[in-house]
């Protein structure tokens, strides 16, 4: 079951209209073969010239805006900006803005859980309104991810934050945990929004816009539990067969994924450890400064110097705190997301392999003439298409993913380095100013007692 | 009073408690000599060029440490460290120094020297020895006395001790100290022959005096409080510093792991590979930079430790004062009671209860002759007592004057040294920050090129 993309895609040559969030010039699923970057851009332009609907939709939106209780203040400028930008072939367009915030605790007789508020602002025609506000819980996110995986088995779906944190989390609703999760969920949805194909997924739209009861009824419409189980059984059976021959490029990809996964996990551990050490250093430093103050109370001549040292230590302490928070905000979440991504990637490889295995098994059946050859040949034909689609989808998405990964890692580590530089610069300034104050005094005193 | 430089003809007795007046008095005669800088190997040596004529004539250094095995008093094999003490005398005006003496001493001999000085110079704040066992260590440092880093730091500490003694206007003239530097064999026997151990005040006596003294000089009471506070705050500071050092070590070293992993990761990356690899190298540099940083900090800690131990020396002076004061008070009390007894006998009134009074009642009054005899004895005792009290008083006053002079000298030394130490700590921090900035700037460049 391929994800059916909505109107814009169907209308045009199947490419996403407006270049919504498509960062990579790479081509797009589910179209086989064609999409080169220039083709994509060209199509966008063609799209708009041919089609009046888009413009109409926008104007429809404009009138709807007033009546819609969901959008108190949809700024018109993004709309017109988007209009303009479309003609200017801007690749980094966003017409879907999502925020995740306001975690709230809900208590029922059966359970306690947290919901997050999700605000969506959009200028897309297929959305009934330009602003939506809904509440979702983790389970809902999990559902969305599973649906996306089903719809696009060989696309790299963004990872969800873990269900539980294994170590030391007694309370599920610890503030830090909730905040970390909220940020990760925000990232998750935005990554989907930025993905050239996933952004148009129907379930995604429902997730963003439907009211609670609407969502539950929509969930029930999907393939039933039994059929899902059936798929899983088949998948396991296939994976047990093993992959006969993975094409070369996918061997390379698999190799990369394995090593990358190892390394990113190590980096995750190292980074967490650094945070822990910095925290413990900070805790000790907090005690260090005040001792000098205590000492200064029993001294006369030394009092100023001691107080000066105490003040420097305290300032460095604050700088350490800032460094720590920088680490936990910039580096740790990024590295952790890629740990989850690496697990995701292994899943994608598996699914690709399964699709190929399906084909392989039918081919084998054909050669051993076990069943009706005509039927088999037809099935094989379909499966070959399926395999080709899957492979191309993965290839394209792989390039996009690698590019993003490089950018994200580069930027995360550059930020970390910057934090450290800033930390040391602050401490340096503190100690240097202390030193000058002391040597100035020294010179004054020195001139007094020259015998 | 001796004014000349170290005089081998000096009497073999230990220097008496002579009223010395101003500490610098004896030094003026030698100011004409060219001031020779002390070998600057120990911490806080900057001040030593002033106020000492030893150093104008000689240089002292503890230049080596060596592991030795030998037999101890119980004829058991033991391993100990011996330190080489070299004394150079500055003969010529051009500052050339000639090695005059060189001998080996072990830590216990230093202790013996110091104990001797404590007994014979109770009014002096005697410089402390470096610690016997490693304390306030953070995890990387070994607490083992045989550990080479510990031995090295102790070597520096012992040298510092000798330099402090040699630069002290009074202590530097001591014969036993001179012999410590010059006479290897038989020195221990010589020290013991002075019988200083016998002269030492018993701890019990001192404790007793501390509790019972009624009118100690207020300054000493304050000084005692100060030394308690100083000891407490410096120990606390050293403890926390050690923990901070431990944590800092952890932060730096964990970064080293990045180096290895980046390097392995770079193998599968085409564009990012170089950046990762070189960034990893900088992480290694960062991680290894902490070793030198913390070694420097150990020297700072040693400077603080010296004053931690000085607190005990201060207390020793206070204790001596309390003892002398108590002694004085007891003598005065004793005299007063004798005077009263005498008076009673003379006037025939028995106002105070006494054994004599009781026995008189029981066994009959004594004869006038007997009474006369007793009065005479008492009067003699009173005379003696008054003499003693006078001299005790004078001793006490001298002690207070001299001790306080040394305490003032010590205070100045302490303020100067500790201020320098704190400033050097700031300098260390600055250097650490600069290194950090450099490493991370390099790393950032590598990351941004990925």
| B residues 380-419 lying closer than 8 A (beta carbon) to A | 415, 418-419
Phi, psi (degrees; rounded to nearest 5) at A96:
-140, 115
A141 lies within 8 A of chain B by CB: no
Tokens of A425: 């610069």
Determine, yes or no, domain membership for B62: no
pLDDT surpassing 80 at residue A360: yes
| The predicted structure's pLDDT at residue A82 | 44
| The predicted structure's pLDDT at residue B139 | 65
Is residue B280 within 8 Å of residue B305, measured between CB atoms?
no
Q: Report the sign of the C-alpha dihedral through residues B385, B386, B390, B393, in that order.
A: positive
Chain B contact set for A301 (CB, 8 A): 415, 419
Q: For residue B134, count other CB atoms closer than 10 A to its CB.
A: 17
**Residue B444 binned pLDDT confidence (cut-offs 50, 70, 90):** very high
Tokens of A209: 């816009």
What is the distance between the alpha carbons of residues A54 and A48, in angstroms, rounded to a whole number? 7
| The predicted structure's pLDDT at residue A100 | 92
What is the distance between the alpha carbons of residues A177 and B302, in angstroms, rounded to a whole number? 44
| The predicted structure's pLDDT at residue B375 | 85
Tokens of A405: 């990964």
Q: Tell me whether residue B186 is exposed, middle or buried, using C-beta atoms within 10 angstroms of its C-beta: 0 to 12, 13 to 18, 19 or more.
A: exposed
CATH node for A93-223? 3.30.1520.10
- Give the H or E element holding residue B89: strand B77-90
Average pLDDT along chain B: 82
**Residue A277 binned pLDDT confidence (cut-offs 50, 70, 90):** very high
What is the distance between the alpha carbons of residues B56 and B52, in angstroms, rounded to a whole number? 7
Full residue range of the structural domain in which residue B223 is found: 217-348+372-449
pLDDT surpassing 70 at residue A166: no
**Residue B17 binned pLDDT confidence (cut-offs 50, 70, 90):** very low
Closest CA to B128 of B144, B115, B142, B141: B115
Q: Tokens 């919504």 belong to which residue?
A: A20
pLDDT surpassing 60 at residue A128: yes
**Residue A68 binned pLDDT confidence (cut-offs 50, 70, 90):** very low
- Give the H or E element holding residue B279: helix B273-347
Residues of chain A within CATH 3.30.1520.10 domain(s) are: 93-223
CATH number, domain of B311, equals 1.20.1270.60
What are the Cα distances from residue A230, in Å, to A203, A222, A234? 22, 14, 6
| The predicted structure's pLDDT at residue B365 | 66
Q: Which of B93-102, B322-331, B349-358 has the highest mean pLDDT?
A: B322-331
| The predicted structure's pLDDT at residue A221 | 72
Is residue A185 within 8 Å of residue A333, measured between CB atoms?
no
Is residue B106 within 8 Å of residue B80, measured between CB atoms?
yes
B433 and A428 in contact by Cβ < 8 A?
yes
A305 and B423 in contact by Cβ < 8 A?
yes
**Residue A20 binned pLDDT confidence (cut-offs 50, 70, 90):** very low
Architecture of the domain whose range is A234-450: Up-down Bundle (1.20)
Instruction: Report the pLDDT averaged over residues A379-398.
Output: 88
What is the distance between the alpha carbons of residues A199 and A302, in angstroms, rounded to a whole number? 67
A420 lies within 8 A of chain B by CB: yes
pLDDT surpassing 60 at residue A28: no
A309 and B426 in contact by Cβ < 8 A?
yes
Instruction: Report the pLDDT averaged over residues B50-63.
Output: 62
**Cα-only R_g, chain B:** 31
**Residue A171 binned pLDDT confidence (cut-offs 50, 70, 90):** low
pLDDT surpassing 60 at residue A161: yes
B434 and A428 in contact by Cβ < 8 A?
yes
Determine, yes or no, domain membership for B239: yes
pTM of whole model > 0.80? no
| The predicted structure's pLDDT at residue B362 | 64
Residues of chain A within CATH 1.20.1270.60 domain(s) are: 234-450
Instruction: Report the pLDDT averaged over residues A211-215.
Output: 80
pLDDT surpassing 70 at residue A240: no
Q: Tokens 């080996």 belong to which residue?
A: B104
Residues 6+ apart with CB under 8 A from B450: A406, A409, A410, A413, B271, B272, B274, B275, B276, B279
Chain B contact set for A320 (CB, 8 A): none
**Residue A124 binned pLDDT confidence (cut-offs 50, 70, 90):** confident
Give the whole-number percent of chain A exceeding pLDDT 90: 41
Number of domains present in the structure of chain B: 1
**Residue A86 binned pLDDT confidence (cut-offs 50, 70, 90):** very low
Determine, yes or no, domain membership for B5: no
Give the whole-number percent of chain B exceeding pLDDT 70: 80
Determine, yes or no, domain membership for B297: yes
pLDDT surpassing 60 at residue B135: yes
Q: Which residue has the higher pLDDT, A347 or B142?
A: A347
Q: List the single best residue of B247, B252, B300, B439 to mutate versus A (max A Cβ within 10 A).
A: B247
User: A62-71, B217-226, B407-416, B431-440 — which is least confidently predicted?
Assistant: A62-71
- Give the H or E element holding residue A241: helix A225-241
**Residue A165 binned pLDDT confidence (cut-offs 50, 70, 90):** low
Q: Tokens 């990045």 belong to which residue?
A: B258
3-state SS class at A318? helix
Instruction: Report the pLDDT averaged over residues B364-386.
Output: 83
| B residues 287-326 lying closer than 8 A (beta carbon) to A | none
What is the distance between the alpha carbons of residues A171 and A109, in angstroms, rounded to a whole number? 18
Determine, yes or no, domain membership for B71: no
Instruction: Report the pLDDT averaged over residues A289-298.
Output: 95
| The predicted structure's pLDDT at residue B6 | 40
Chain B contact set for A418 (CB, 8 A): 444
User: B142-146, B196-200, B218-222, B280-284 — which is least confidently predicted?
Assistant: B142-146
């Amino acid at each position: 079951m391929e994800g059916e993309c909505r109107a814009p895609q169907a209308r045009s040559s199947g490419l996403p209209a407006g270049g919504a969030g498509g960062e990579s010039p790479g081509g797009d699923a589910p179209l086989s073969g064609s999409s080169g970057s220039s083709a994509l851009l060209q199509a966008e332009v063609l799209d708009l010239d041919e089609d009046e609907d888009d413009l109409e939709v926008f104007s429809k939106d404009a009138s709807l805006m007033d009546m819609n209780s969901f959008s108190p203040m949809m700024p018109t400028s993004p709309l017109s900006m988007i209009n303009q930008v479309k003609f200017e072939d801007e690749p980094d367009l966003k017409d879907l803005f999502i925020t995740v915030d306001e975690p709230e605790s809900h208590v029922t007789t059966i359970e306690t859980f947290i919901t997050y508020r999700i605000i969506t602002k959009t200028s897309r025609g297929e959305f009934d309104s330009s602003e939506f506000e809904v509440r979702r819980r983790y389970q809902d996110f999990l559902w969305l991810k599973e649906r996306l995986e089903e719809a696009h088995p060989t696309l790299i779906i963004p990872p969800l934050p873990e269900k539980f944190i294994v170590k030391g989390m007694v309370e599920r609703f610890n503030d830090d945990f909730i905040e970390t999760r909220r940020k990760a969920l925000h990232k998750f949805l935005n990554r989907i929004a930025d993905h050239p194909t996933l952004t148009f997924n129907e379930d995604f739209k429902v997730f963003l816009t439907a009211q609670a009861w609407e969502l539950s009824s929509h969930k029930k419409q999907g393939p039933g539990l039994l059929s899902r189980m059936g798929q899983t059984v088949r998948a396991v059976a296939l994976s047990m067969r093993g992959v006969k021959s993975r094409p070369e490029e996918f061997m390379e990809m698999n190799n990369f994924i394995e090593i990358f996964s190892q390394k990113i996990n190590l980096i995750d551990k190292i980074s967490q450890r650094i945070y822990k050490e910095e925290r413990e250093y900070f805790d000790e430093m907090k005690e260090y400064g005040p001792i000098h103050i205590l000492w200064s109370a029993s001294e006369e001549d030394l009092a100023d110097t001691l107080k000066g040292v105490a003040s420097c230590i305290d300032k460095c302490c604050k700088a350490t705190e800032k460094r720590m928070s920088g680490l936990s905000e910039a580096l740790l979440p990024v590295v952790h997301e890629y740990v989850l991504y690496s697990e995701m990637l292994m899943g994608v490889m598996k699914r690709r392999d399964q699709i190929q295995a399906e084909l392989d098994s039918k081919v084998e059946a054909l050669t051993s003439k076990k069943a009706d050859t005509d039927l088999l040949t037809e099935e094989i034909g379909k499966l070959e298409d399926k395999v080709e689609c899957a492979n191309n989808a993965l290839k394209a998405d792989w390039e996009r993913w690698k590019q993003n990964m490089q950018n994200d890692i580069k930027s995360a580590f550059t930020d970390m380095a910057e934090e450290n530089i800033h930390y040391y610069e602050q401490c340096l300034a503190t100690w240097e100013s202390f030193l000058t104050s002391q040597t100035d005094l020294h010179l004054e005193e020195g001139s007094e007692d020259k015998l | 009073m001796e004014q000349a430089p170290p005089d081998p003809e000096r009497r073999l007795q230990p220097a008496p408690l002579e009223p010395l007046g101003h500490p610098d008095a004896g030094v003026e005669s030698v100011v004409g000599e060219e001031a020779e800088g002390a070998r600057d190997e120990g911490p806080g040596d900057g001040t030593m060029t002033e106020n000492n004529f030893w150093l104008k004539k000689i240089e002292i250094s503890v230049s080596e440490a060596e592991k030795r095995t030998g037999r101890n008093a119980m004829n058991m094999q033991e391993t100990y460290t011996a330190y080489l003490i070299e004394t150079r005398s500055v003969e010529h005006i051009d500052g050339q120094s000639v090695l005059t003496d060189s001998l080996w001493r072990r830590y216990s001999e230093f202790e013996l020297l110091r104990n001797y000085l404590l007994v014979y110079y109770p009014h002096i704040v005697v410089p402390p020895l470096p610690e016997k066992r490693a304390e306030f260590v953070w995890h990387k440092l070994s607490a083992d006395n045989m550990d080479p880093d510990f031995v090295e730091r102790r070597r520096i500490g012992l040298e510092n001790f000798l330099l402090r003694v040699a630069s002290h206007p009074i202590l530097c003239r001591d014969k036993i100290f001179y012999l410590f530097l010059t006479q290897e064999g038989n020195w221990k026997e010589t020290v013991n022959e002075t019988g200083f151990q016998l002269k030492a005040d018993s701890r019990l006596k001192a404790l007793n005096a501390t509790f019972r003294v009624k009118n100690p000089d207020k300054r000493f009471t304050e000084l005692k409080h100060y030394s308690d506070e100083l000891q407490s705050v410096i120990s606390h500071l050293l403890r926390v510093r050690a923990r901070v050092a431990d944590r800092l070590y952890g932060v730096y070293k964990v970064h080293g792991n990045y180096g290895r992993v980046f390097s392995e990761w770079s193998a599968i990356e085409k564009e990012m590979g170089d950046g990762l690899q070189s960034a990893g190298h900088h992480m290694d540099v960062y991680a290894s930079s902490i070793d030198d940083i913390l070694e420097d900090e150990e020297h700072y800690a040693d400077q603080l430790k010296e004053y931690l131990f000085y607190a005990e020396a201060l207390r020793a002076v206070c204790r001596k004062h309390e003892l002398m004061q108590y002694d004085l008070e007891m003598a005065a009390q004793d005299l007063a009671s004798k005077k009263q007894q005498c008076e009673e006998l003379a006037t025939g009134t028995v106002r105070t209860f006494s054994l004599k009074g009781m026995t008189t009642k029981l066994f009959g009054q004594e004869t006038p002759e007997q009474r006369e005899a007793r009065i005479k004895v008492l009067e003699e005792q009173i005379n003696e007592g008054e003499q003693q009290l006078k001299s005790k008083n004078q001793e006490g006053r001298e002690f207070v004057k001299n001790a306080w002079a040394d305490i003032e000298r010590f205070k100045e030394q302490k303020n100067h040294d500790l201020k320098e130490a704190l400033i050097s700590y700031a300098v260390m921090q600055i250097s650490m920050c600069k290194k950090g900035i450099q490493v991370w700037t390099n790393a950032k460049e590598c990351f941004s090129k990925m």
